[in-house]
Amino acid sequence: MNRPRPLFYGWVIVGVLFMANFGTMATGTLNFGLFVLPMGDELNMSRGFIGWSQTARMLGGGLSGFILGRLLDRHGARALITAASITTALCMVGLAYVKNPWQFLLLFSLMGLIGLSAPGSLLTSVPIAKWFIRQRGKAMAVATTGLGVGGVAFMPITQGLIDEVGWRGAWLALALVSVALTVPLTALLLRRQPEDMGLSPDGGDTARPERPALASRRPRREEVQWTVGQAIRTKTFRRLTLFFGLLGLAAGGGSVHRLPYWVEKGFDPQLVSYAFSADAAGAALMALAAGFLVDRFPVKFVAMASCLGFAVSVGLMLVASNPFYLFSSVILFGLAVGANMIVTSFIWAHYYGRAFLGAIRGLALPVTLVTSGIGAPLAGYIYDAGGSYEPVWWTLMGLYVLAGLVILSAGAPRRPAEPEPA
């Protein structure tokens, strides 16, 4: 009689990182837009200056990305995520007491340096790729859904806190919640890779090989392991870096400004917070769907579809006149975000393997973070100069279309032993 196989510990890793992603959405990511108007008014900060907060955060992440990637490959994410969560929470406490704009920028820089401040961060995505190959898309989908679910929860919670205790009290409460959700599970349960526990990716004991009859029924993906030097010499690496750089510039341009745009068009802030909760719900649902899609279809087509979703969503903002357009635009944007979150986490491991994944992604990440950081203040200055977001939205549409064309040209690289065609 065959005994059932025990639960593969990789799914425990997925659950822990789901909660880490969930907690991340309390730390001024999607919900930061709710702080723009009250903080800007009290501290006398322009939209352009507020945009620099995202620049500071992204540049901090860019500076640390290369180091964090190598540390992940060597030591895993347990200590890194634990320390990053605590540091982020301390910075949020600091935000509750800022008196001057420079303090605001400094704290956002520190939040970026520790690497847990953005969806798709190395700390919460690389570990999944280490534990899974055949089921990588599915596993990433489940873990990434934590971002969407967190957005659904924390958008109305954040607005409610701001209404009840002010923006300073809201930062304090959210800091406590983020630590409670992330640190205990991460410190106790996270592990670097299956080989450290005598396991193999996707499940199984390396000392007890899977039966041939069972193995023959399971399609396996052969994984080629690329070194950092081999990866950066490929055209695919350069095209992926350009693709994510363009998306970063567009995402940065919209990250700070989408939410206040809707409020300034006359929509009630609480209604807008509910709409952006729907945005996050769409991201969660699409992340689940995209996780299955990338296991079955070329990932670059999923990426192209997300770019088209972004472009159409921004186009709807240009003609918005009632709540139907508000919800249609933000939900479509959320669907595109969900697909892109899976693409970001999946495509690097799918093309270059898992052995040096942290270091490879760490080399490309600074480009994305720098362009994201440029986008936020640039959009703010365009608004400050003309008093309108319309030219910003047209620019973002063009960037998303261009990014879609770039990703279509980024096919899987040839095996490391084979030279690429000229």
User: How far out from the chain centre does Cα 232 lie?
Assistant: 22
90-106 pLDDT, tens digit per residue, is: 999 999 999 988 888 88
117-130 pLDDT, tens digit per residue, is: 554 567 888 888 88
Against a cut of 0.85, is the pTM above it? Answer: no
DSSP codes, 242-256: HHHHHHHHHHHHHHT
**Res 214 pLDDT > 50:** no
Q: Alpha-carbon distance 135 to 64, whole Å?
A: 29
Percent pLDDT > 70 in the chain is: 89
**Res 161 pLDDT > 90:** yes
Q: Alpha-carbon distance 149 to 15, whole Å?
A: 13
Q: What is the pLDDT of residue 363?
A: 83
| CATH superfamily, with its number, for domain 10-196+219-408 | MFS general substrate transporter like domains (1.20.1250.20)
Q: What is the pLDDT of residue 1?
A: 44
Q: What is the pLDDT of residue 273?
A: 78
271-291 pLDDT, tens digit per residue, is: 887 888 888 788 888 988 888
Maximum average pLDDT range among 4-13, 184-193, 267-276, 375-384: 184-193
- Confidence band of 6 (pLDDT split at 50, 70, 90): confident
**Res 165 pLDDT > 90:** yes
**Res 373 pLDDT > 80:** no
- Taking the CA atoms of residue 171, residue 173, residue 179 and residue 181 in that order, the dihedral angle to the nearest 10 degrees is -120
- Confidence band of 209 (pLDDT split at 50, 70, 90): very low
**Tokens describing residue 419:** 């030279």
The answer to whether the beta carbons of residues 25 and 153 sit under 8 Å apart is yes
Identify the helix (H) or strand (E) that includes residue 43.
helix 33-43
Q: Alpha-carbon distance 159 to 273, whole Å?
A: 7
Q: Alpha-carbon distance 148 to 154, whole Å?
A: 10
312-349 pLDDT, tens digit per residue, is: 999 999 888 888 989 999 899 989 988 998 898 889 88
Average pLDDT of the residues in 210-225: 49
Backbone CA torsion sign across 236, 393, 167, 154: negative
**Res 383 pLDDT > 50:** yes
Q: What is the pLDDT of residue 118?
A: 53
Mind spelling out the 3-state secondary structure of 121-156? CHHHHHHHHHHCCCCHHHHHHHHHHHHHHHHHHHHH
Average pLDDT of the residues in 256-262: 82
Q: What is the pLDDT of residue 405?
A: 95
Domain ranges of the chain: 10-196+219-408
Q: What is the pLDDT of residue 422?
A: 39
- Confidence band of 16 (pLDDT split at 50, 70, 90): very high
Percent pLDDT > 90 in the chain is: 27
What is the Rg, in whole angstroms, of the alpha carbon atoms belonging to the chain? Answer: 21
35-65 pLDDT, tens digit per residue, is: 888 888 888 887 777 777 777 777 776 666 6
**Res 183 pLDDT > 60:** yes
343-371 pLDDT, tens digit per residue, is: 988 898 889 988 888 888 888 877 877 78
Between these two residues, 372 and 282, which has the higher pLDDT value? 282
Q: What is the pLDDT of residue 68?
A: 76
